[in-house]
Amino acid sequence: MPGIVIVGAQWGDEGKGKATDQLGDRVDYCVRYSGGNNAGHTIHVGDQKYVMHLLPSGILNPGVTPVLGNGVVIDLDVLYTELDELAERGAEVSHPLISSNAHVITEFHRTLDKVTERFLGKAKIGTTGRGVGPAYADKVNRVGIRIQDLFDESILRRKVEASLEQKNHLLVKVYNRRAIEPDEIADHLLSFVDRLRPHVADTSRVVNDALDQDKVVLFEGAQAHHLDVDHGTYPYVTSSNPIAAGACVGAGVGPTRIDRVIGIAKAYTTRVGSGPFPTELFDEDGDKLREIGAEFGATTGRPRRCGWFDALVVESAAKANGFTDVFLTKLDCLTGWDKIPVCVAYEVNGVRHDVMPYSQTDFHHATPVYEFLDGWTEDISGCRTFDELPANTQAYVKRLEELIGCRISGIGVGPGREQSILVHDLL
């Protein structure tokens, strides 16, 4: 029964909360399956705005059980800061479940993230600096620390020591930083044990049991397809698998349990950090999109790079993730342009590409081929049905559908929870 995955179709910040809002009270479990506190989900409830970096968005819905799956990397300082802040603001917070197999982000991961970026200079990835990459590197290198290790003090101390041995050489000899004391790290992690205990579970079993009981489980992806470590614009990617298949690995469910994959695409394109971005605008149109769309990172506050909709980028995400639906967000931000360019192909060294080239070098040299669609001037933020949209807006949506090869089931026309158009139900 309904296992629904929500995935970003571009480079993140597509406004995934919009689709979550549409599912509303019908969701029983909201599971984050990858990433850490590098994400930034903005949720508007009434006149209150909440920004969550680690917790799943379902945390604010008392009927939903929020889950941090095994594929997530958890900074416990951030986890409890977020929970405490929500409680302080009087939000009714659900009891999150945390996978015993999830890995932790510690001070040394954060330090390494920052020093490596500095060391890379111009070649830097532009990470969020939250220690996410180094924590995943440790996991794959089999020197990571899992949530369950915190419940066995002697194991924890041994693991922290082993993990730090090499890193301290690196920090001191290569990066010219002070060595980190293993006991300091272990003591800090141990200080969370009492608070953590009631939250820890075999979340794979919990989620599978929920699906057996016909509960609605929403797998909430952070980041996006093109930031995926395998499928994104490597090396300018995050260190995990945000794609839909990542939900199986990062939550511990089989592919047969996923019924629906909803891709979230912004009506234009944005990106933070480094990496190729063919439709990026460096002119006043780019500034205008940034201003109208309030395109500043929810985690780092960095201005986002802005550009026109790139159909090739979304089409390739639709293919690799098996999108059943697309939710198109921020369509209202395109109001007021006479013509709206949409990228329908690339030109690379005189050769036309109708799909994303597999070679990163080609992608770096891709020049967009634009189709210019008619714009609209009407305020669409009050529209609640597709038919209420101006004819040109409808035509824009229909053309994108053709180009990406997937139906557009939802449209965002403003930041408010109710400012959406549902063309097809998402459940």
Cα 231–chain centre separation: 14
> Does residue 9 bind ligand IMP (CB under 6 A)?
no
17 near ligand IMP, rule: CB under 6 A: no
Question: Which of 227/403 has CB closer to ligand IMP?
Answer: 227
Per-residue mark of binding to ligand IMP, 236-265 (x: CB under 6 A): x-xx--------------------------
Q: At closest approach, how far in Å is the CB of 238 from ligand IMP?
A: 3
Contact 83, 93 (CB under 8 A): yes
68-76, 147-155, 222-230, 417-425 -> range binding ligand IMP (CB under 6 A): 222-230
Q: Which helix (H) or strand (E) holds 421?
A: strand 420-422
Site track for ligand IMP across 25-44, x = CB under 6 A: -------------xxx----
Q: List Cβ neighbours of 369 (8 Å cut-off, separation of 6 or more).
A: 343, 344, 345, 346, 347, 352
Residues within window 76-95 making contact with ligand IMP, judged by CB under 6 A: none
Q: Rg (Cα) of the chain, in Å, rounded?
A: 22
Q: Report if residue 397 touches ligand IMP, rule: CB under 6 A.
A: no
Residue 28 appears among annotated catalytic residues: no
CB atoms within 10 A of CB 16: 26
DSSP string, 319-384: HHHT-SEEEEE-GGGGTT-SEEEEEEEEEETTEEESS--S-HHHHHT-EEEEEEEE---S--TT--
Binding mask 122-161 for ligand IMP (x = CB under 6 A): ---xxxx-x-xx----------------------------
Residue reference for tokens 């990228």: 343
User: Is 353 a residue of the active site?
Assistant: no
Of these, 6, 7, 9, 13, which contacts ligand IMP (CB under 6 A)?
13
> Which residue of 52, 222, 318, 404 would you call a contact of ligand IMP, by CB under 6 A?
222
With CA atoms as reference, report the closest residue to 20 among 63, 77, 62, 58.
58
Could you tell me the CA-to-CA distances from 297 to 128, 289, 293 in Å, in that order? 10, 14, 11
111 is a contact residue toward ligand IMP (CB under 6 A):
no
d(CA 283, CA 278): 14
Residue 57 interacting with ligand IMP (CB under 6 A): no
Select 2 or 17, whichever has its Cβ closest to ligand IMP: 17
The residues binding ligand IMP (CB under 6 A) are: 12-13, 38-40, 125-128, 130, 132-133, 222-223, 227, 236, 238-239, 272-273
Q: Provide the annotated active-site residues.
A: 13, 41
